[in-house]
Amino acid sequence: MNRPIGVIDSGVGGLTVLQEMMRQLPREKLIYLGDTKRCPYGPRSKEEVQKFTWEMVDFLLEKEIKLLVIACNTATAFTIEDLKNKLDIPVIGVINPGARAAIKATKNHHIGIIGTEGTVKSGAYPEALERINPKIHVKALACPPFVPMVERGIFAGDEAKETVEKTLKPLKSLKNLDTLILGCTHYPLLKPIIQQVVGDNVTVISSSEETARETSAVLEIEQLQNKTGYHPVHEIYSTGDMELFDKIAQQIFINGKYKELIIKSAEIEKD
Amino acid sequence: MNRPIGVIDSGVGGLTVLQEMMRQLPREKLIYLGDTKRCPYGPRSKEEVQKFTWEMVDFLLEKEIKLLVIACNTATAFTIEDLKNKLDIPVIGVINPGARAAIKATKNHHIGIIGTEGTVKSGAYPEALERINPKIHVKALACPPFVPMVERGIFAGDEAKETVEKTLKPLKSLKNLDTLILGCTHYPLLKPIIQQVVGDNVTVISSSEETARETSAVLEIEQLQNKTGYHPVHEIYSTGDMELFDKIAQQIFINGKYKELIIKSAEIEKD
C-alpha cells in the first residue's frame, strides 16, 4: 500500500510528530500540512477549529492519503470523533496515544497534563484517561505562552527557560505527580527544559513519539504498511509565512534528514 | 462491550502479559489459559504448536471472548497469520508490539533478541523489524534454559543468575547493541537479572508491557472498550499441575492483586 500518510497541524508543532514518523516508519511517504497562517488554534472556538481542520483534511484527501494523523491536540480534542465518523480511512489523534503511554508509565496514578487552553478546557485528556482507568488522578494546566514562543523559533536559551519555569510553577506544589503528558505537539521542542524544571522523578511523555508508534500499529492492523519503500521524499505544506516556517523546519530536521523534505506553500481556505 | 479478553500461553510466562493487562486495562475482564501440561512449546514443531494453539483458542471462543492475545512468542511466530485469517475477532501477538517498541527505543539500529529455539528459528522478529525498517541490524540468540527454569518457579537467586550469565555470554561481544527484546513472555520474570548482565546502556524491552499497551490501542480503534467495568474478577485456567501453577501465580501476582483471580483446571486436548 504505497499511498502517503497525511499529517495535519495548526502550525510547526506537528513537525515533531512528522520527525518521529520519519524515524519510526522509514518506509512510509508523508505529506504534512501546517496551518501556520491561522496558528495558534488553542484560543479559538470549537466551530472555528472544526472548520479549519476540515479545510486541511480536504486538501490532503485530494492527495489520496491512506491514513490521517491529527498532529495537533486542540484539533484532536475538537474534531476526531467527527473525522472518524465521516472518513473511510483510519484517523489517529495525539490524545489517546499519549494517555495510554502515561497509563503504562505511571506507578502512583497521579498524572499531569500541560496543553493549550483549548485542549485543557475540552477535558479530552482526563476523559481519555478515565475511559481506561477511572482511578487516575489528573491535574491539567494550560500553558498559553509556549506555542507562540515555539512558533517564533525559540526552544532554548534564557527566554525559553524563564517562560517554562514561570508557566509550570503551579505544578511545583504537586508532590505526587510521577508522569507528565506534553499535551501539545509544540512542547516536545521544549522537552529538555520542561524535564529540567519538573525534575528527573517525573516521566515526561511526548505524545509525538507515542503517536508515531501507534500509527505503526494501526498500519499493521489495517494492513496498510508500505512494504517496499525506504526513505521517500516527503512533502511539507504551510499556509503562512514560508521563510519563518522553513527556518523552524531546518531547526527541527537536523542530522541531514532535512534533504528528504520538499517544502511548499498551500492555499486551503474556503468561505 | 463487556465480553472478556482471552489470553493464551504455553504455560506461566503469559501471566506477565496478564499482569500488565490488569494494570493498564483495569476495566477489562480477562480469561487466561496456560497449556502448562505441554509446556515448553519452544522446541516443538510448527505443526504441533499450531494444533495445541487451536485447542486453546477453541476453549476460549466458547467463553465468547471479544479479542485474543497470544501471550507466547513461539505460538505467535507459528500461528498468528492463520488465526488472523480465520477468526472474526482481533488477534494480537507479542512479536509486533515488541518490535515496534524496539524501533522506537533504538538510537543506533542495533537490536538484540532473545527467545526460545522455536521463536529464533522462525525468524519472526527480524522479519517484523525489517518490515518496518530494512536497515535494522539484528542479532538473535536462543536461550533454551530460561523457560524450564521459570516454570520451576525460579526467577531470582544464584541458580537464576548463573544461568542467565552463562546463556547470554554470546551477546557480550556485541559492543553496539543498544536495545534488547525479551522475545519470550517468561523472560520478564528474569528482567532484573538480564538488565544487570547486559548493563544499563542497553534498553531492555518487555514484550509483555508493550502487548498490553497495544491491546489498549486496538480496543479503542475497534470500539471494543469496556466503558463501565472496574477490576473485575479474572479467570485463569491451566492444563497441567495445579499446585505448581498456583504457586507461581502467587509469586507473580503480589500486591493484593492475586485476590482478583480465580484459578481453575482445564481439559482442552482433542485427538
- Per residue in A172-213, pLDDT (tens digit) is 877 799 999 999 988 999 999 999 999 999 999 998 889 999
C-beta of residue A168 within 8 angstroms of C-beta of residue A143: yes
Place of cell 524515524: A23
pLDDT at A257: 57
B53 is annotated as contributing to ligand binding: no
* Cα radius of gyration rounded to whole Å, chain B: 17
pLDDT at residue A258, as a whole number: 57
Q: How far apart are CA B8 and CA A58, in angstroms?
A: 44
CB spacing of A24 vs B132 below 8 angstroms:
yes
Overall fold of domain B5-92+209-265: Rossmann fold (3.40.50)
**Can you name the residues that pair with B219 across neighbouring β-strands?**
none
Residue A256: pLDDT over 60: no
CB-based contact B121:A238 (threshold 8 Å): no
Q: Delimit the CATH 3.40.50.1860 region(s) of chain B.
A: 5-92+209-265, 95-207
B94 contact residues in A (CB cutoff 8 A): none
A50 has a chain B CB within 8 A of its CB: no
Length of chain B: 271
Q: Is B87 left (phi over 0), alpha (psi -120 to 50) or beta?
A: beta
d(CA B264, CA B266): 7
Helix axes A207-221, A95-105, angle to 10 degrees: 110
Which residue among the candidates B22, B184, B197, B252 is catalytic per the annotation? Answer: B184
CATH topology for the B95-207 domain: Rossmann fold (3.40.50)
Angle (nearest 5°) at CA A210 between A209 and A212? 65
- The answer to whether residues A26 and A5 touch, using CB atoms and an 8 Å cutoff, is no
> Whole-angstrom Cα distance, residue A51 to residue B218?
29
Residue range(s) in chain A whose domain bears CATH number 3.40.50.1860? 5-93+209-265, 95-206
pLDDT value at residue A28: 96
List the one residue out of A132, A153, A175, A156 whose CA is nearest residue A249: A153
A229/B contact by beta carbon, under 8 A: no
Predicted pLDDT at A167: 96
* ipTM > 0.85, yes or no: no
Q: Report whether pLDDT(A151) > 90.
A: no
Q: Which three cell numbers stand for residue A62?
A: 485530494
In chain A, what are the helix, strand and coil shares in percent, each to the nearest 5?
50, 15, 35
pLDDT of residue B196: 94
Q: What is the mean pLDDT of residues B104-117?
A: 94
Q: What is the reported pLDDT for B92? A: 96
Confidence band (pLDDT; 50, 70, 90) for B222? confident
Lowest mean pLDDT among A171-175, B74-78, B245-249: A171-175
Task: Enumerate the H helices of chain B as residue ranges.
Answer: 15-24, 46-61, 73-86, 95-105, 117-122, 124-132, 146-151, 157-167, 169-172, 191-198, 207-221, 242-252
The Cα–Cα gap between B132 and A230 comes to 10
pLDDT at A255 over 70: no
Grid coordinates given for B138: 539484528
In this prediction, residue A254 has a pLDDT band, given cuts at 50, 70 and 90, of low
Per-residue pLDDT, A239: 95
Share of chain B above pLDDT 90, in %: 71
Specify the residue for cell string 492527495.
A63
CB-closest option in A132, A213, A218 to B221: A218
Nearest CA in chain B to A103: B24
Query: Phi then psi for A173, rounded to 5 degrees?
Result: -80, -10
Q: Which of B24, B131, B217 sits opposite A217 (nearest CB)?
A: B217
Lowest model confidence (mean pLDDT) among A8-17, A72-81, A257-266, B126-135:
A257-266
Q: How confident is the model at residue B120 (pLDDT cuts 50, 70, 90)?
A: very high
What percentage of chain A exceeds 90 in pLDDT?
71
Rounded Cα distance between A27 and B56, Å, is: 36
Q: Does domain A5-93+209-265 have CATH number 1.10.10.10?
A: no
Distance CA A205, CA A185 (A): 11
Between CA A52 and CA A75 the distance in angstroms is 9
Question: What is the identity of the amino acid at A186?
Answer: H
- Per-residue model confidence (pLDDT) at position B254: 59
CATH topology for A95-206?
Rossmann fold (3.40.50)
Contact A220 B90 (CB under 8 A): no
The residue among A62, A87, A60 whose CA lies nearest residue A71 is A60
